[in-house]
Structure 1
């Protein structure tokens, strides 16, 4: 505190300037969009050195934007203001997407920790850390002065506070993410018990805030897993939690031990001071020495009183230290709970929460951003109109090119909203082409994945259908046709080399008649038996 007072007294102006700059930086960071838009408008409006004055000098350079003729200076102005227009170009669909994303990841109703909450937690941890950092500084900076030990205590407390606040907050986030994983696994196991064809518990990494409706037909557990970061086994992780628990226990135990040692040291110092005082205490040489038993009794009484006092101090001190350690651990648990109840585990939940803001309905959301869009468009159109007027004035004096004059005369057909509409149409066409390409790629992959299995399944089904539906007569006809074709080919080859004699013809006819008169087999023939029989009959006919 002495250091802070000295800084304020001796460097009051410098400290005030630094604090003012810090406040200004914080304000500009929070309201940066409004500040940057205000500065852009002012920078265009500056006379002589403003951007509008400089752009007005170039009224001849033409460009073609989205199949329309524009002047390069007009495009430059519209591009500068388009960045701010896009930030407020939001409709109710974005509000619905954000609500849908938070609802599917079961984080609707959650918020990030407010800046006041951060300040409160940091202050509590800093005050708690100061209680034992001053004790630690005596051993960290041995032999240092009281002032230097105080400065060291502040530094140690700051380091401990930063570490503990960060660890406890991230531990809360980790536990919250683990709770979502456990919830999804319970839902998945319940669905798996009901239906054996349950999809695998694997995330779809394509899901984001713009594609949040793509998994509407998937189970709820899959929707949660699609939106959080998990390991390959989709199991809870306790890495940060373990580190935080070890850090809290080590700090609490060591701080309590060091406090106890300091208490022992203080007692030893008091005993030494008392003993030294008794040794150098001067007595009256003329006084009569008290009896020895009275001196012994007095010394025993003093020792007993001193021992009782030290025992009470020791018990009270250790009780206080244990209570402070318990309070320290309780404070860290409080920080973990705050981290568990605030923040988001979803990969895009923070952005979704930011888009929703404090709006309670889509109508309120749309009304707010419609007003902001009109404000930006009105300012941008004003700057564009002023620029076009300046270029017309300069061209009437300095330009004789009829094409340039014609483009300048048609400046009323070019507006900021027209530029934004063409830009939006181009972006929509690009998004549609990207989605079409993604759909085609996904369909081709699915077809490649399913084609071999489908072909194999169809072939097997065809064989099964043929075996099941083919009757013995059809089988015989099919095999006979195959054998006749083979025999015809052989007969054609033999016909050129040999002519049938009358004896051979008589023998062949006799065999055919005997075969026709033979009774049919009583046992159903197999395909191989039928093939052999028909082969013999045909050979007989051909011979």
Structure 2
């Protein structure tokens, strides 16, 4: 404490500046979205050196975005503000997905540990660590001064506190994850006892916050396993718990032992001081020497008194040290319980809880983010309108190109919300094509598994069972159609139109031609060549 007081007294200005910077950094980190949006708007509005002034100089460069003519500067401005618009572009579907995800992983109602909880746990552990770190500093820094030992004690207490707070918190998380695994395994075993066709207890790694509804038809134990990290055997893990238990026991035992040794050392030093003071005690030369038996009795009485006092001090000291060790272990168990009751084991549970926040209903969620979207869109549109006006003023004075003037005159058709709407439509089309490819790939895999392999070229069998050949051809054509649709998904033609066109062409070809008997491999090669020819 003397070191801290000296630091504040002698370096008050420097310490105040550092603390102010730390507070400012924390505030910026907590409210980074608002701070960054404010700075973007301010930077665009700066006169002369602002980004709006610099973009207004380029009014001739045109680009085509989503089949529409835009100016490059307009796209640059909309892109800057689109990043902030996307952060608040949330609807009630996201709220439902987050609630569904937390419900399926049975973590609804849980929260992360608040910052004040972290401060409380850190302070408790630091105070407890200071109790024996000062004792340890005497041995870690032998021969050091009292002041240096105090500084060393603070450093040792800080290191121990950081390690213990982290270990106990992660141990609580590990125990919570193990509890979910055990719960899922119990449900799985119960279902397996009732139905022998119960599938394996293996996670579906495709499940995330956006695809949380895909396993609605699966049993509850499978929904839990899909959302937590497990090992290959789907068993609880106790790696961090073991390390934490060893660390707590070692620190408690060694700290108690060192305290006991310090107590013994203090007693030895006290005895030595008493003996040395007795040796140099002045004797009265004129006093009569006491009888020998009285001297012996006095010495034995003093020795017995000293022994009794030391025994009681020793028992009291060791009792105190054992109590402090018990209190230390109890405090670590308290930290583990806090880690067990807070935080999440689900892979996306933290994001889901962050999206839900303190909102109580979908309507409240939608209203809040609708208001934020309107604020961002209003500011972005204001900046875009100012930019377009500046470009029009410069073009009227310096530009003679009629095409450029025509594009500038049509600036009313280009707004920030129009840009965001076109961007959203493009993303929706891309998502639809991705989902279509995934669905077609999954369907083709299922068809390959369910359809028996035909590996014979016997013409008699083909005549006896013409339906099998036609079924094989239809299946192979369906697979090739899926591949063709996947390749043409990014072209101007939509996947639905491409699939419908190819299906009609294939049906017409099958109806007009009589196919000879072929093996599966020959049929696959022939159909692939025909499809590649049509696509090219």
Common fold, TM-score beyond 0.5?
yes
Please list every run of at least 4 consecutive aligned residues from structure 1 whose deviation after the TM superposition is greater than 6 angstroms: 458-494, 500-543
Question: Structure 1 pair 299/413, CA: closer, same or farther in 2 (3 Å)?
Answer: same
Deviations 1:245-303 (A, max 9, x none): 01101110010001000000000000000001001101110111112222112111111
CA deviation after TM superposition for structure 1 residue 463, in Å: 17
Aligned to 1:477: 474
Query: SS in structure 2 opposite 1:64?
Result: strand
Deviations 1:465-502 (A, max 9, x none): 999999999999999999999999999999xxxxx999
Give the Cα separation in 2 of the matches to 1:370 and 1:40.
21
Give the Cα separation in 1 of the matches to 2:357 and 2:494.
107
CA deviation after TM superposition for structure 1 residue 121, in Å: 0.5
* TM-score normalised per structure 1: 0.84
Question: Structure 1 pair 9/288, CA: closer, same or farther in 2 (3 Å)?
Answer: same
CA deviation after TM superposition for structure 1 residue 449, in Å: 2.3
CA deviation after TM superposition for structure 1 residue 364, in Å: 0.4
Question: Structure 1 pair 213/278, CA: closer, same or farther in 2 (3 Å)?
Answer: same
Aligned to 1:171: 171
Question: Structure 1 pair 22/185, CA: closer, same or farther in 2 (3 Å)?
Answer: same
Give the Cα separation in 1 of the matches to 2:136 and 2:313.
21
Deviations 1:201-233 (A, max 9, x none): 000000000000000000000000000000000
Contact 1:92 / 1:362 at 8 angstroms: preserved in 2?
yes
Q: Which runs of 5+ in 2 are unaligned?
A: none
Please give the residue correspondences for 1:192-203 in structure 2 after superposition, counting only pairs within 5 Å.
Answer: 192-203=192-203
Query: SS in structure 1 opposite 2:433?
Result: helix
CA deviation after TM superposition for structure 1 residue 451, in Å: 2.2
Contact 2:191 / 2:198 at 8 angstroms: preserved in 1?
yes
Question: Structure 1 pair 161/461, CA: closer, same or farther in 2 (3 Å)?
Answer: farther
Q: Which runs of 5+ in 1 are unaligned?
A: 453-457, 495-499
Question: Structure 1 pair 308/493, CA: closer, same or farther in 2 (3 Å)?
Answer: closer
Contact 1:512 / 1:540 at 8 angstroms: preserved in 2?
no
Deviations 1:4-40 (A, max 9, x none): 1111111111111110000000000000000000000
Question: Structure 1 pair 338/394, CA: closer, same or farther in 2 (3 Å)?
Answer: same
Contact 1:85 / 1:376 at 8 angstroms: preserved in 2?
yes
Give the Cα separation in 2 of the matches to 1:151 and 1:60.
67
User: Are 1:540 and 2:529 matched, yes or no?
Assistant: no
Contact 2:489 / 2:495 at 8 angstroms: preserved in 1?
no
Contact 2:455 / 2:520 at 8 angstroms: preserved in 1?
no
Query: SS in structure 1 opposite 2:63?
Result: strand
Give the Cα separation in 2 of the matches to 1:107 and 1:424.
32
Question: Structure 1 pair 444/307, CA: closer, same or farther in 2 (3 Å)?
Answer: same
Question: Structure 1 pair 171/538, CA: closer, same or farther in 2 (3 Å)?
Answer: closer
Question: Structure 1 pair 292/85, CA: closer, same or farther in 2 (3 Å)?
Answer: same
Question: Structure 1 pair 179/534, CA: closer, same or farther in 2 (3 Å)?
Answer: closer
Question: Structure 1 pair 402/320, CA: closer, same or farther in 2 (3 Å)?
Answer: same
Give the Cα separation in 1 of the matches to 2:329 and 2:120.
17
Aligned length: 533
Give the Cα separation in 1 of the matches to 2:196 and 2:79.
56
Aligned to 2:523: 530
Question: Structure 1 pair 52/295, CA: closer, same or farther in 2 (3 Å)?
Answer: same
CA deviation after TM superposition for structure 1 residue 510, in Å: 64
Give the Cα separation in 2 of the matches to 1:228 and 1:81.
36
Query: SS in structure 2 opposite 1:34?
Result: helix
Contact 1:511 / 1:540 at 8 angstroms: preserved in 2?
no
Query: SS in structure 2 opposite 1:518?
Result: helix
Contact 1:512 / 1:541 at 8 angstroms: preserved in 2?
no
Please give the residue correspondences for 1:357-372 in structure 2 after superposition, counting only pairs within 5 Å.
Answer: 357-372=357-372
* Stretch deviating more after TM superposition (500-509 or 178-187): 500-509
Give the Cα separation in 2 of the matches to 1:12 and 1:341.
41
* Stretch deviating more after TM superposition (73-82 or 520-529): 520-529
Contact 1:59 / 1:391 at 8 angstroms: preserved in 2?
yes
Please give the residue correspondences for 1:312-391 in structure 2 after superposition, counting only pairs within 5 Å.
Answer: 312-391=312-391
Contact 1:184 / 1:221 at 8 angstroms: preserved in 2?
yes
Give the Cα separation in 1 of the matches to 2:257 and 2:456.
78
Give the Cα separation in 1 of the matches to 2:136 and 2:96.
54
Query: SS in structure 2 opposite 1:70?
Result: strand
CA deviation after TM superposition for structure 1 residue 442, in Å: 1.3
Question: Structure 1 pair 258/436, CA: closer, same or farther in 2 (3 Å)?
Answer: same
Contact 2:253 / 2:325 at 8 angstroms: preserved in 1?
yes
Question: Structure 1 pair 136/464, CA: closer, same or farther in 2 (3 Å)?
Answer: farther
CA deviation after TM superposition for structure 1 residue 450, in Å: 2.4
Contact 2:440 / 2:482 at 8 angstroms: preserved in 1?
no
CA deviation after TM superposition for structure 1 residue 444, in Å: 1.6
Aligned to 2:240: 240
CA deviation after TM superposition for structure 1 residue 521, in Å: 47
RMSD of aligned alpha carbons: 16.5
Question: Structure 1 pair 442/466, CA: closer, same or farther in 2 (3 Å)?
Answer: closer
Give the Cα separation in 1 of the matches to 2:497 and 2:104.
89
